[in-house]
C-alpha cells in the first residue's frame, strides 16, 4: 500500500469562471454568460430605440431619447403615447417568456419543452377564445385575467396528472403535449360554435399581438417579473446541481421535488401572464433559452441571458411585424413563428454537427 501523500496542488483553475472573494463572501462568475448578458442588453437597447424611431413617420434617435427621458419634444404623442407603451409591453412579455422557457426547460431537462408545449399557452388560448366566442367577456380589458386563469389551470392539470411520487421530466412533457392537443381541439370547437364576429376577434388574439398594447398590460406584468427576481436568483443557484441525474442531485443535498415544483410553477405563472398581456406569442419561450445557452456556452441554461434574449426577440419581431408589410401591421406571433422555427432548426442541426 502506498504511503499517504500530502496534496501538492491547492488551487483549481475553473475554466471560464472568475472568482470574487472577500470577507467570507465568495461568488463564481461565469465570464461568458456575463459578456453575453452585456451584449444582449446593448442589442436590446438599440432595437428598442430603433423601434421607437421607425414607423409611419421617422423620428431621429436623439428626439426619441428626449421623449424616453421625459424632456419636452414635438414627438411626444407619436413616440411617447403610441410607440413607447408597445415597446415596453413587448419587452416585458419577452422577458417573461424567456425566463419561463428557461425554467421549464431546466425542470424538464429537455430543450423541446416550453410553456407552448406543456399546455400553458393552449390553456390560456382556450380560456380566452371560449369566453370571447360566447360573449362572457365583452371587453378586452378582461382578456388578461381569463388568459392567466386558463394558463394556470392547464399548467396545474398537467402537474397533477404528471405527479407520481415526484415530478418526472418525461411524463411532464408527454402529458403536457397531450393536454395541449386536447385544449387546441377545444379551442376549435369554441371558434366554430361561438358567435361569428367575436370569433374573429378571438382569432386575432390567438396569433399573439402587441397591437394596441398599453400601460394597463405593462403594469401588472412588471410587478409579476419583479416578484419573481428572488425566486429566479434562488433557482439559478439550484441549477448547478439540478442539471445532474436525480440521484446525484439528491446526493448533493438538493430538495429535488420542492425545487422542481417551485421552478415549474414560476415558469407557468410567467408564461400565463405573458399570454394574458399579448396572447400566445409562439416559439419565444422555446427558442430564447436555446439561443442563450449557445451564446453563453454554459453547462446549464443561463436565466438572465435567456430573459434578455426573450425580450430582444419579441421587441425585434414586433418591429418587423410593424414595418414588413407597412402600413399593414402583422401580429408579432406571426413573425416569431416565421423567424423562430427555421432558426431553431438551424441551431439543432449545427449543434448536432459540432458534437460529433
Contacts with another protein, residue ranges (CB under 8 A): 1-2, 4, 7-17, 19, 21, 24-28, 233-234, 237, 240-241, 243-245, 247-248, 250-255, 297, 299-300
Nearer to another protein, 238 or 316 (CB): 238
Nearer to another protein, 72 or 253 (CB): 253
CB of 160 to another protein, least distance (A): 18
CA distance 132 to 74: 39
Nearer to another protein, 71 or 248 (CB): 248
CB of 300 to another protein, least distance (A): 6
Any residues with CB less than 8 A from the CB of 285 and at least 6 apart, and which?
Answer: 97, 98, 100, 101, 104, 114, 115, 116, 271, 310
**Pairing outcome for strands 17-22 and 25-30:** antiparallel
Nearer to another protein, 21 or 58 (CB): 21
Residue/partner pairs of 338-342 with CB below 8 Å, 24 or more apart: 340/282, 340/283, 340/284, 340/286, 340/287, 340/313, 341/283
CA distance 310 to 94: 4
CA Rg value for the chain: 22
Residue where the block lists cell 434574449: 309
CB of 176 to another protein, least distance (A): 22
CB of 243 to another protein, least distance (A): 4
CA distance 308 to 284: 11
CB of 352 to another protein, least distance (A): 12
Nearer to another protein, 30 or 75 (CB): 30
Nearer to another protein, 8 or 139 (CB): 8
CB of 64 to another protein, least distance (A): 39
Amino acid at each position: 500500500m502506498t504511503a499517504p501523500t500530502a496534496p501538492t496542488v491547492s488551487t483549481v483553475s475553473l475554466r471560464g469562471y472568475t472568482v470574487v472573494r472577500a470577507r467570507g463572501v465568495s461568488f463564481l462568475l461565469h465570464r461568458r454568460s456575463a459578456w453575453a448578458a452585456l451584449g444582449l442588453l446593448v442589442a436590446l437597447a438599440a432595437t428598442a430605440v430603433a423601434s421607437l424611431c421607425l414607423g409611419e413617420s421617422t423620428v431621429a434617435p436623439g428626439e426619441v431619447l428626449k421623449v424616453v427621458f421625459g424632456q419636452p419634444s414635438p414627438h411626444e404623442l407619436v413616440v411617447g403615447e403610441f410607440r413607447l407603451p408597445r415597446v415596453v409591453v413587448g419587452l416585458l412579455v419577452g422577458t417573461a417568456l424567456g425566463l419561463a422557457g428557461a425554467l421549464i426547460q431546466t425542470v424538464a431537462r429537455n430543450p423541446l419543452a416550453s410553456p407552448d408545449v406543456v399546455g400553458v399557452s393552449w390553456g390560456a388560448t382556450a380560456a380566452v377564445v371560449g369566453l370571447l366566442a360566447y360573449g362572457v367577456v365583452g371587453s378586452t380589458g378582461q382578456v388578461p385575467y381569463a388568459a392567466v386563469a386558463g394558463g394556470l389551470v392547464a399548467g396545474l392539470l398537467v402537474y397533477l396528472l404528471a405527479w407520481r411520487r415526484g415530478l418526472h421530466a418525461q411524463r411532464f412533457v408527454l402529458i403536457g403535449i397531450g393536454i395541449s392537443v386536447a385544449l387546441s381541439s377545444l379551442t376549435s370547437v369554441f371558434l366554430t360554435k361561438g358567435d361569428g364576429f367575436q370569433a374573429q376577434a378571438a382569432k386575432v388574439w390567438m396569433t399573439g399581438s402587441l397591437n394596441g398594447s398599453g400601460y394597463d398590460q405593462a403594469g401588472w406584468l412588471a410587478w409579476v417579473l419583479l416578484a419573481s427576481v428572488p425566486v429566479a436568483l434562488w433557482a439559478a443557484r439550484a441549477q448547478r446541481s439540478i442539471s445532474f441525474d436525480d440521484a446525484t442531485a439528491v446526493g448533493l443535498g438538493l430538495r429535488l421535488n420542492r425545487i422542481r415544483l417551485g421552478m415549474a410553477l414560476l415558469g407557468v405563472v410567467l408564461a400565463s401572464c405573458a399570454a394574458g398581456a399579448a396572447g400566445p406569442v409562439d416559439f419565444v419561450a422555446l427558442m430564447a433559452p436555446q439561443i442563450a445557452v449557445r451564446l453563453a456556452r454554459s453547462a446549464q441554461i443561463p436565466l438572465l441571458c435567456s430573459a434578455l434574449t426573450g425580450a430582444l426577440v419579441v421587441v425585434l419581431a414586433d418591429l418587423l411585424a410593424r414595418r414588413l408589410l407597412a402600413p399593414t401591421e402583422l401580429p408579432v406571433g406571426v413573425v416569431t413563428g416565421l423567424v423562430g422555427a427555421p432558426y431553431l432548426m438551424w441551431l439543432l442541426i449545427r449543434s448536432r454537427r459540432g458534437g460529433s
